[in-house]
Structure 1
Amino acid sequence: MAPEAASTPSNAPTLRIGTRGSALALAQTRMVAAMIERTTGMSCELVTVRTEGDDLSIPLSAPPRPGAFAARLRDVLAEGAVDLAVHSFKDLPFAPAEGLRIVAVPPRAAARDALVSASGQGLDALPRGATVGTSSPRRAAALTRRRPDLQIVPIRGNVDTRLRKVRTGVVDAAVIAAAGLDRLGLGEQITELIDPNVLVPAPAQGALAVEMRADHPHADAVAELDDPGSRLRVVAERRVLAVVQATCTTAIGAYCQFSGSSLNLIADLTDHLDVEHAHVELCGALGRDHLLSASMLGEQAAKRLLGRA
């Protein structure tokens, strides 16, 4: 039986949620809004914000500020124009924003990358010299290691734009986050879920971050959306990001899973701080403070990537 929705008192506040205007961002934000309404009884209103990352004339390799997809959302949140913002967690810089906090990490979707190909062939079956679309340095580096013969073609735009480039033959295939396809109801477009040992997902890929002002009176209520397992994995992965001092163009992946009392973390780094390529796999026990254990494992992985441990 589905959980009963919380009743909404007549004087319950309405929370304004800042979101980007893409179909995926709106789908994710509506999902979070429904969770808030069901969990807290408060109503939600979506406020669309155009971010610097939405301007396709600005190269992601040289954004005016770190976290091009999140910076403007954080501005309007800090200014009080919205009560909370919903981010794709992988788009957030590793440094926290002053006066803001991530109050909830809802249950994480699939973290892996997906290949969408016009021919229906997987990564290893694509013909020699096939074109694969991605603007991610992480994806490009991993694909080139696996298949040096492939031609990597930079493509930007929303999910539908990238899928259309596959359908119309601009590229033979494209690599897109599986979570985005699933959240848009496009999971049937996936040709292959790529093994995370071949293409390590971006830190926090598939996870959402619900951010609020630290002093917001309803922050604790919205924090009820937090999924401890999802937050645990994200803490480990994003600690890797922080210790290597990654930028938005760093080819870095980190993927954490946990089972029982142990964490397993894969991390990968290419062409950063004199590291040509490094790949590590670690397992660590969860101590009394689970989040501290996750953070320490991420730090250990990062130091190994950099050759410092």
Structure 2
Amino acid sequence: MSTTNTAPLKLGTRGSLLARTQSQMVAEAINEATGRQVELTIIRTEGDDVSIPLDAPSRPGAFAATLRDALLDGRVDLAVHSFKDLPSAPLPGLSIAAIPRRSDPRDAWCSRDGVRLEDLPAGAKVGTSSPRRAVGIERARADLQIVPIRGNVDTRLRKVAEGEVDAAVLAAAGLLRLGHEDAITEYIDPGTLLPAPAQGALAVECRTGELAAEMAAIDNEDTRLAVVAERAILAGIGATCTTAVGALASWLHDDRMNLVVEVTAHRGIVYDRISRTGHVSTEDEARALGLSICDELLDQMG
């Protein structure tokens, strides 16, 4: 443990309970690994305004843009993001210094009275504002009604409990981090609905060239390689924040990774699901595995 620099680090975080919980987890991990004290700094982001549709933010990465501004202008030393919310293109001046061990990447089905997806009556309302989740649920149950909902985890769970919707789809990782495992009716099998690229992973972002050595102490290599492979899909097919794309990398044995990707209604692709396996021990190899799937998808695009 190194305690050479004892000045507290300022960690920028959104103000939601989930964001603060995730940031506090990272702060405690940094303190344990390096001895550095970490202070949370609340930053209100564009994505926190629920009156703005997620498909029409003023800037890409609505949940991350203002946090990144605070990093670049020196108000904070690092920021914690839900990695799935970060745009695929890197931002000059900033780097992902650490990716801690990933939580459960799957989506969770949360329904009133514990009714499973397959048992929900025809015409029931399912709440989600994610194009990926919407088309995945429609594939599984075309007889259900998709209702857009926004808000934090507790708000969406309340909409289920109060009958505004009969069920909602949320990231399992967020529910688990908040201690809401009892709200999960079932974990959605990736065979039914692939999670978003990097879902369940956190990204610790810093100014390039700063804190890299210290943040490396909380980095998890298996998670980093998996999310690099998954996120390679986003740039490779020109995905936007409204593209219905899922990706999940899993480790087999002998450094072999299996990557599964599905894309719906994107640039001429009606729907496709592709799986590929390869040897991965570096970020370049992880990225190459993802891009090899992109090559096949690009052949179908108009």
Q: Could you tell me the TM-score, scaled by structure 1's length?
A: 0.94
Q: Matched residues in 2 for 1:71 and 1:167: separation?
A: 32
In structure 2, the partner of 1:291 is: 283
One-letter amino acid matched to 1:296: A
Q: Secondary structure at the match of 1:67?
A: coil
Inter-partner Cα distance in structure 1 for 2:220 and 2:276: 23
Give the superposition deviation at 1:305: 2.7
Q: CA deviation at 1:74?
A: 0.4
Q: Scaled by the length of structure 2, what TM-score is found?
A: 0.96
Contact 1:107/1:207 (8 A) holds in 2: yes
Give the match for residue 68 of structure 2: 74
8 Å contact kept, 1:131–1:150: yes
| Paired residue secondary structure (2:263) | strand
Name which of structure 1's ranges 132-141 and 270-279 shifts more when overlaid on structure 2: 270-279
Cα deviation, residue 304, structure 1: 2.1
Which of 247, 250, 256 is the aligned partner of 2:243?
A: 250
Residue 111 of structure 1 corresponds to which residue in structure 2?
105
- 1:7–1:282: structure 2 CA closer, same or farther, 3 Å change rule? closer
Paired with 1:133 and 1:262, the residues of 2 have a C-alpha distance of 37
Q: What stretches of structure 1 of length at least 5 have no aligned partner? A: 1-5
Read off the aligned partner of 2:294 and give its amino acid letter. Answer: A
Residue 158 of structure 1 corresponds to 152
- DSSP-derived class of the 1:128 partner: coil
What letter corresponds to residue 14 of structure 2 in structure 1? R
User: In structure 1, the residue corresponding to 2:114 is in which secondary structure?
Assistant: coil
Q: Does 1:236 align with 2:243?
A: no
Q: What residue number does 1:221 align with?
A: 214
Instruction: Quote the offset at 1:308 in angstroms.
Output: 5.5
Deviation at 1:306, TM superposition (A): 3.1
Contact kept? 2:268, 2:300, Cα under 8 Å: no
Matched, 1:43 2:37: yes
CA contact 1:110–1:179 (8 Å) conserved in 2: yes
Structure 2, unaligned stretches of length 5 or more? none
| 2:267 pairs with 1:273 | yes
Q: CA deviation at 1:7?
A: 7.8
1:38-68 alpha-carbon deviations (Å, 9 max, x no partner): 0010000100000000011111111100000
- What CA distance in whole angstroms lies between the structure 2 residues aligned with 1:22 and 1:306? 38
Distance in 2 (CA, whole Å) between partners of 1:245 and 1:28 is: 29
The answer to whether the 8 Å contact 2:269/2:300 transfers is: no
Q: Deviations over 1:222-249 (max 9, x none)?
A: 1211000000100000001110111111
Q: CA RMSD in A?
A: 1.4
Contact 1:256 1:265 in 2 (8 A): yes
Question: Is the partner of 1:271 in helix, strand or coil?
Answer: strand
Specify which of 139, 160, 164 is matched with residue 170 of structure 1.
164
Instruction: Tell me, yes or no, if the aligned pair for 1:119 and 1:172 is still in contact at 8 Å.
Output: no
TM-aligned CA deviation for residue 119 of structure 1:
2.5
1:23 aligned onto 2:26: no
State how far apart, in whole Å, the 1-side matches of 2:290 and 2:3 are: 41
**Cross-structure match for 1:3:** none
2-structure distance, mates of 1:130, 1:119 = 13
